[in-house]
Every structure is written in C-alpha cells, then in structure tokens.
Structure 1
Amino acid sequence: MSADNFPYVEGQPAEIYFDGKWHRGKIIAGYRFRDGIVTVQTEDGKKIWCGESRKELYRAL
C-alpha cells in the first residue's frame, strides 16, 4: 500500500491519533464508511473515527 493511500480496508491493522497519543486497533466499517469516514476499533474496544481530509491522523501497520 502506498503511503498516500487512505486505509479503507476493513480489518486492516491501523493506528489513529486521538487525545494526544496513537491508539492501535483495526479498521471497521462504521458510520458512513463508504463516504470516506473510517472507524478504528482500538484494542480496548473504543471506536474512534475521522474523515479522509484528516488522513494524517491514521497510519497503517
């Protein structure tokens, strides 16, 4: 996967930046997934989402 691609793959391991730190989890098909809003479910069960316009907040693992 190119570093320029936004991680749209459901089940893909990823990290999301939230509350001042990176949280590890997996991408799930949450609210408006097909519209570019991707949700990461963290290892402790939290669901954190952000849109494609803020893709610097995500990184694939």
Structure 2
Amino acid sequence: MSADNFPYVEGQPAEIYFDGKWHRGKIIAGYRFRDGIVTVQTEDGQKIWCGESRKELYRAL
C-alpha cells in the first residue's frame, strides 16, 4: 500500500491529527464515508473526521 493512499476500509487502524496531537484509532463508516470523509474512532471513543483533501491530517498504521 502506498503511503500516499489512505485505506478507506472500516476497521483499518489509523491515526488522525487533531488538537495538536496524533490520535490512534480505527476507521469507521461515519458521516459521508462514501464521499471521502474519513472518520476515526479513537481508543477513548472520540470520533474525529477529516476530508480526503487534508491527507496530511491522517495516516494508516
């Protein structure tokens, strides 16, 4: 898998940058998932989402 491509797969481990730090979690089918909005549910249950245009804010693990 290329580092430039984000894995749009439910359950895929990922990190998302929010509030000044990286948060580890898993991709869930959240708001507009099929439209390129990626939602990561963190280990503490927080749901953070980001659009595909901001790829620098999330990464696969």
Q: TM-score range by the shorter chain?
A: over 0.9
Residue segments in structure 1 that go unaligned for 5+ positions in a row: none
**Following the alignment from structure 2 to structure 1, what is the Cα–Cα distance between the partners of residues 56 and 12?**
17
Aligned residue in 2 for 1:60:
60
The runs of 4+ residues in structure 1 deviating greater than 2 Å are none
For the residue of structure 1 that corresponds to 2:31, the secondary structure is coil
- Whole-angstrom CA distance in 2 between matches of 1:4 and 1:18: 19
Deviates more, 1:18-27 or 1:5-14: 5-14
Give the corresponding residue for 1:3.
Answer: 3
- Residue in 2 that maps onto 1:21: 21
Residue 55 of structure 2 aligns to a residue in which SS? helix
Q: Which runs of 5+ in 2 are unaligned?
A: none
1:7 Cα deviation after fit: 2.2
Coordinate RMSD, CA, aligned: 0.6
1:4 shift after superposition: 1.2
TM-score if structure 2 supplies the norm length? 0.96
Q: Which region of structure 1 is more displaced relative to structure 2, 2-11 or 34-43? A: 2-11
Name the % identity.
Answer: 98
TM-score by length of 1: 0.96
